[in-house]
A and B are shown apart, each in its own frame.
Chain A
Amino acid sequence: MRRALLLTSLLLLVLCVPPLSANPGGVGDDNRDAACGGSCHGDPGLSEPSSAILAFSTDRDSAYVGGPISVSVTVTEMELSSRGLLGVFLLSDTHGVADTPQDAGWTILSNGEGGATNYAETYVLDAESGATITWSLLAPSNEGTYDFYAAVHHGGDGSARMKISDANSVTVGPIPDNLPQMLPWDAMTSRSLGEPSELSMPVVNATAVTLEYRIGDGPIASINATLSNDVWTATLPAALSDISLSYRVIMSNDEFTETTGWIAVGNEIEGYSADIFAVRLQSMALMFGSLALCISIQRRMSRTSKKSLGEPESALISANQTSMVSPMSAMAPPPVVTSGLALDDPRRPAGWTDEQWVHYGPDHIKQNHGGGF
């Protein structure tokens, strides 16, 4: 009966294990394919559908080959975990392999979160207002109609959840003659605090290039870039604190004005750095120290245990140390003659060698039997 009760309790405990919830702390911004967020969100056995509403918007109806465009994805009405973490993908397909915008030829200048990746994580305060992620892109080098998909991974009500939007098409058309254009460019998406940043922009067909920047959603300030050696350069002022700065490039000539999307700049706060060899030494110190403590306690307790048997302290000698007393005993005269102790004395403790009895026997008798041979 008792066993049955025990087994039933154990089985009930197993049933009490809560369902899995993927990576509730997120996995970090990166370039990820549709299925790369982990099977926890995609596996029907582990996840539940998301009630999120995904809305696309772009800053222009179409883009030119190699031209800029901003794509925003607004997510609302989703379930939220206690952390309120939301992961948003911008995808060019939903195959699960090679389906990032870069795979389709797009260049991501910014994900609006201080990086240039197609997957970005953000925190959501409430599902009603949701979250918006804006990607600033440069179009592929081939004309055509390109599809974008948005996907979200999030938690809520104890389950991992996922949703993929319908396709949103963007037409990439031929470049008009004399259109100002940004050549392939690695936009600055992060920088150190307290240092101004000089931006070099490979813009062609432009007679004027202006760098606009803003802090948060504040007023827009502009800096005129200067041309030297076919590269336009402008300097962004230094940030003295961890602010949310974003900038865009406006390229113009007599006929056209082209504007990139807003590119968010993350602040590189001085990171942690440790000397790995010093850490290894500290780890070794902890290992040696804790081991020394353990062995010391164990040996001391071993001695205490022997003492409690009523043996003299001088007899508390391990079997391995008997060799240390052997030469002395070899030099000593026969035990019976010198000490007056009989080797078969009934007071001799069990397990003592003849040498131990000869050397420590008198002490033992004094301590435990009041002396007298």
Chain B
Amino acid sequence: MIAAATMHAFSTEMLVGSMTFSVVATVLCLGESILEKLGERAQRGLDHAAYFAAIFSLCCIPVVALTGSAAGDASASPVLVNKMLLSGLCLGLWIGVVHGRRTWGPEMWSNRKMSFAHTGIVCAGYTAAAMLGSIGSVITRGETVGDLFGIWPHFDNAPAISFGLSMVLALLSLAALMIVIFVQPKGEKVES
């Protein structure tokens, strides 16, 4: 049998690789939409690459979270608690990335505001994933590349929120999501 920690490391590498690829392709798309150096074909290719890499990353996130849960007992470590919380944030943002690209379509790069908004969400999702990786690195190696930045958080403390309040928060956020999905008018693909 392979240990859960090994599977976690494997799936994390798959996730981070595809996510990095997606982020780089997205940033290149944004750059192309501003500078117009590479041409429409290249931008279209980068956009598709970013989209499919994002979908692959999205598929990897639950695997990473599950293998991570099996590899360690989060209830005894504030660092692991923070990892679980950031996993939720990362998953939400990354679903948002795929949803945004699916809703707006490839022509969104012709709209400057949408380009920046999409790239911003992609970068936010990647930052959450980078923080997750950083926590993992601190756990296994005692240090993180993030230390080079000087202000990189180590997440040594976790919020102590009761079960009741956690339930209220979850229900409120679920209600917010339902309202957004069913009440707010749907978005449409950007047309050229």
Binding site for B on A (CB under 8 A): 23-26, 83, 271-306, 316-321
Whole-angstrom CA separation of A292 from B158 in the bound complex: 24
Q: How far is the CB of A233 from chain B (nearest CB, A)?
A: 32
Nearest B residue (CB) for A85: B142
Nearest B residue (CB) for A304: B113
| Residue contact A318 to B76, C-beta cutoff 8 Å | no
| Residue contact A291 to B177, C-beta cutoff 8 Å | yes
- Kindly list chain B residues whose C-beta atoms are within 8 Å of the C-beta of A292: 173, 176-177, 179-180
| Residue contact A298 to B177, C-beta cutoff 8 Å | no
* Contact A287/B89 with A275-B75, A292-B173 known, Cβ cut-off 8 Å: yes
| Residue contact A299 to B143, C-beta cutoff 8 Å | no
Nearest A residue (CB) for B95: A291
Whole-angstrom CA separation of A300 from B113 in the bound complex: 12
- Kindly list chain B residues whose C-beta atoms are within 8 Å of the C-beta of A284: 88, 170, 173-174
Residue B184 is within 8 A (CB to CB) of chain A in the complex = yes
| Residue contact A298 to B103, C-beta cutoff 8 Å | yes
Picked from A26, A272, A301, the residue with its CB within 8 Å of the CB of B77 is A272
| Residue contact A25 to B142, C-beta cutoff 8 Å | yes
Picked from B77, B78, B176, B188, the residue with its CB within 8 Å of the CB of A288 is B176
Picked from B121, B172, B185, the residue with its CB within 8 Å of the CB of A285 is B172
Q: How far is the CB of A295 from chain B (nearest CB, A)?
A: 5
| Residue contact B89 to A302, C-beta cutoff 8 Å | no
| Residue contact A305 to B81, C-beta cutoff 8 Å | no
Residue B161 is within 8 A (CB to CB) of chain A in the complex = yes
Q: How far is the CB of A123 from chain B (nearest CB, A)?
A: 12
Besides A272-B77, A277-B163, A279-B84, 15 new A-B residue pairs in contact (Cβ under 8 A), listed by A number: A273-B75, A275-B75, A275-B162, A280-B84, A282-B161, A282-B166, A285-B170, A287-B91, A287-B173, A291-B177, A294-B93, A295-B177, A298-B104, A299-B186, A301-B114
Residue B106 is within 8 A (CB to CB) of chain A in the complex = no
| Residue contact B88 to A302, C-beta cutoff 8 Å | no
| Residue contact B92 to A278, C-beta cutoff 8 Å | no
| Residue contact A273 to B143, C-beta cutoff 8 Å | no
| Residue contact A24 to B85, C-beta cutoff 8 Å | no
Q: How far is the CB of B170 from chain A (nearest CB, A)?
A: 4
Nearest A residue (CB) for B144: A25
Whole-angstrom CA separation of A93 from B153 in the bound complex: 43
| Residue contact B186 to A285, C-beta cutoff 8 Å | no
- Kindly list chain B residues whose C-beta atoms are within 8 Å of the C-beta of A303: 185, 187
Whole-angstrom CA separation of A300 from B181 in the bound complex: 12
| Residue contact B74 to A279, C-beta cutoff 8 Å | yes
Whole-angstrom CA separation of A140 from B42 in the bound complex: 73
- A selection of 30 A-B contacts at a CB cut-off of 8 Å is A23-B141, A25-B138, A26-B142, A83-B142, A272-B158, A273-B75, A274-B75, A274-B78, A275-B163, A278-B163, A281-B166, A282-B166, A282-B169, A283-B84, A283-B85, A284-B174, A288-B177, A289-B173, A291-B99, A292-B180, A295-B96, A295-B184, A296-B184, A299-B103, A302-B104, A302-B190, A303-B185, A304-B113, A316-B185, A318-B188
Whole-angstrom CA separation of A297 from B75 in the bound complex: 34
Whole-angstrom CA separation of A292 from B173 in the bound complex: 8
Nearest B residue (CB) for A282: B166
Q: How far is the CB of B63 from chain A (nearest CB, A)?
A: 16
* Contact A25/B190 with A283-B85, A301-B113 known, Cβ cut-off 8 Å: no
Whole-angstrom CA separation of A304 from B103 in the bound complex: 14
| Residue contact A294 to B141, C-beta cutoff 8 Å | no
Q: How far is the CB of A153 from chain B (nearest CB, A)?
A: 14
Whole-angstrom CA separation of A278 from B166 in the bound complex: 6
| A-contacting residues, B140-184, CB 8 Å | 140-143, 158-163, 166-167, 169-170, 172-174, 176-177, 179-181, 184
| Residue contact B111 to A305, C-beta cutoff 8 Å | yes
* Contact A321/B186 with A281-B167, A298-B117 known, Cβ cut-off 8 Å: yes
| Residue contact B185 to A298, C-beta cutoff 8 Å | no
- Kindly list chain A residues whose C-beta atoms are within 8 Å of the C-beta of B87: 283
Whole-angstrom CA separation of A69 from B127 in the bound complex: 54
| Residue contact B162 to A283, C-beta cutoff 8 Å | no
- Kindly list chain B residues whose C-beta atoms are within 8 Å of the C-beta of A300: 184
* Contact A24/B158 with A273-B76, A275-B163, A291-B96 known, Cβ cut-off 8 Å: no
Nearest A residue (CB) for B114: A301
| Residue contact A295 to B99, C-beta cutoff 8 Å | yes
| Residue contact B188 to A282, C-beta cutoff 8 Å | no
- Kindly list chain A residues whose C-beta atoms are within 8 Å of the C-beta of B161: 278, 282
| Residue contact A24 to B93, C-beta cutoff 8 Å | no
Picked from B96, B140, B160, B176, the residue with its CB within 8 Å of the CB of A298 is B96
Q: Which 9 pairs across A and B sit closest by C-beta, in order of nearness?
A: A25-B142, A294-B96, A302-B187, A283-B88, A290-B92, A288-B173, A287-B92, A281-B166, A287-B88
| Residue contact B81 to A279, C-beta cutoff 8 Å | yes
- Kindly list chain B residues whose C-beta atoms are within 8 Å of the C-beta of A299: 103, 180, 184-187
Q: Contact mask B108-128 → A, CB, 8 Å, 1/0?
A: 000101100100010000000
Q: How far is the CB of B86 from chain A (nearest CB, A)?
A: 8
* Contact A282/B88 with A83-B142, A299-B180 known, Cβ cut-off 8 Å: yes
